[in-house]
Amino acid sequence: MDAKRGTLWWKILLWLLPAAFLLVFFYQPLAAILRLAFSKPLAGPEQSAALGLTANTFAFTLWQALLSVLLTLLVGLPAAYLFSHFEFAGRKLLRLTALLPFILPTVVTAVCFNTLLGPRGWLNLGLMALFKLTEPPVRMLDSLPAILLAHVFYNSSVIIRIVGGAWSRLDRKLTQAAQILGANSWRVFWEVTLPLLLPAIGGASLLVFLFDFTSFGVVLMLGGPRFATLEVEIYTQALYLFNLPLAGLLSLVQLVFTLLVAWLHSRLSQPRYGKSALSAERANLRRPKTRAEKAFTLVVVLVLAALTLLPLLSLVSRSVVSLEAERGARGEAQTGFTLRYYRELFHNPSGSLFYVPPAAAVRNSLLYAGATMLIANLLGLLTSYALRCSGRLSRWLEPLFILPLGASAVTLGLGFVIVFRRPPWDALSFSLLIPFAHALVALPLVVRTLLPALRGIPDSLRQAAGTLGAGWARVFREVDLPLLLRPLLVSMVFAFTISLGEFGASSFLSTGSNPTIPVAIYRYISQPGALNYGQALAMSTILLLVCAFGSLIIEKARLPGEELF
pLDDT in tens, 399-429: 666 677 667 788 888 888 888 888 877 777 7
| Predicted local distance difference test score (pLDDT) of residue 325 | 46
d(CA 409, CA 416): 10
**321-323 vs 335-337, strand pairing mode:** antiparallel
pLDDT band at 439 (very low <50, low <70, confident <90, very high): very high
* pLDDT surpassing 90 at residue 438: yes
> Of 37-41, 405-409, 470-474, 547-551, where does the model show the most confidence?
547-551
Q: 165-174, 307-316, 516-525: which range is least confident on average?
A: 165-174
Q: 272-286, 294-308, 502-516: which range is least confident on average?
A: 272-286
| Predicted local distance difference test score (pLDDT) of residue 329 | 38
Residue 354's φ and ψ, nearest 5 degrees, are -100, 5
d(CA 236, CA 219): 12
CA-wise closest residue to 147 among 204, 232, 78, 80: 232
| Predicted local distance difference test score (pLDDT) of residue 194 | 80
Q: Percentage of the chain surpassing pLDDT 70?
A: 84
| Predicted local distance difference test score (pLDDT) of residue 352 | 47
| Predicted local distance difference test score (pLDDT) of residue 249 | 83
* pLDDT surpassing 90 at residue 125: no
HSE toward the beta carbon, residue 34, CA cutoff 13 A: 8
* pLDDT surpassing 50 at residue 363: yes
The residues near 289 (Cβ < 8 Å, ≥ 6 apart) are none
| Predicted local distance difference test score (pLDDT) of residue 399 | 66
For residues 485-490, give the mean pLDDT: 88
**Could you tell me which residues are beta bridge partners of residue 336?**
322
* pLDDT surpassing 50 at residue 520: yes
* pLDDT surpassing 90 at residue 151: yes
Supply the DSSP symbol for 23.
Answer: I
For 231-247, how does the pLDDT look when each residue is reduced to its tens digit (9 = 90+)?
A: 888 888 888 877 888 88
Domains plus CATH for the chain? 1-39+357-560 (1.10.3720.10), 73-337 (1.10.3720.10)
The residues near 511 (Cβ < 8 Å, ≥ 6 apart) are 427, 428
* pLDDT surpassing 90 at residue 60: yes
The residues near 31 (Cβ < 8 Å, ≥ 6 apart) are none
d(CA 507, CA 488): 29
329 SS3 class: coil
pLDDT band at 275 (very low <50, low <70, confident <90, very high): very low
Higher pLDDT, 225 or 222: 222
For residues 324-351, give the mean pLDDT: 62
pLDDT band at 355 (very low <50, low <70, confident <90, very high): low
| Predicted local distance difference test score (pLDDT) of residue 97 | 84
**Could you tell me which residues are beta bridge partners of residue 337?**
321
| Predicted local distance difference test score (pLDDT) of residue 276 | 42
pTM of the predicted model as reported, rounded to 2 decimal places: 0.84
d(CA 87, CA 285): 5
Average per-residue pLDDT in the chain?
81
Q: b or e along 331-358 (b: 16 or more beta carbons within 10 Å of the residue's beta carbon)?
A: eeeeeeeeeebbebbeeeeeeeeeebbb
| Predicted local distance difference test score (pLDDT) of residue 331 | 43
Using a CB cutoff of 8 Å and minimum separation of 24, what contacts does 341-350 make?
341/531, 341/534, 341/535, 341/537, 341/538, 342/538, 344/531, 344/534, 344/535, 344/538, 345/535, 345/538, 345/539, 349/531
For 296-313, how does the pLDDT look when each residue is reduced to its tens digit (9 = 90+)?
A: 999 999 999 889 889 999
| Predicted local distance difference test score (pLDDT) of residue 397 | 66
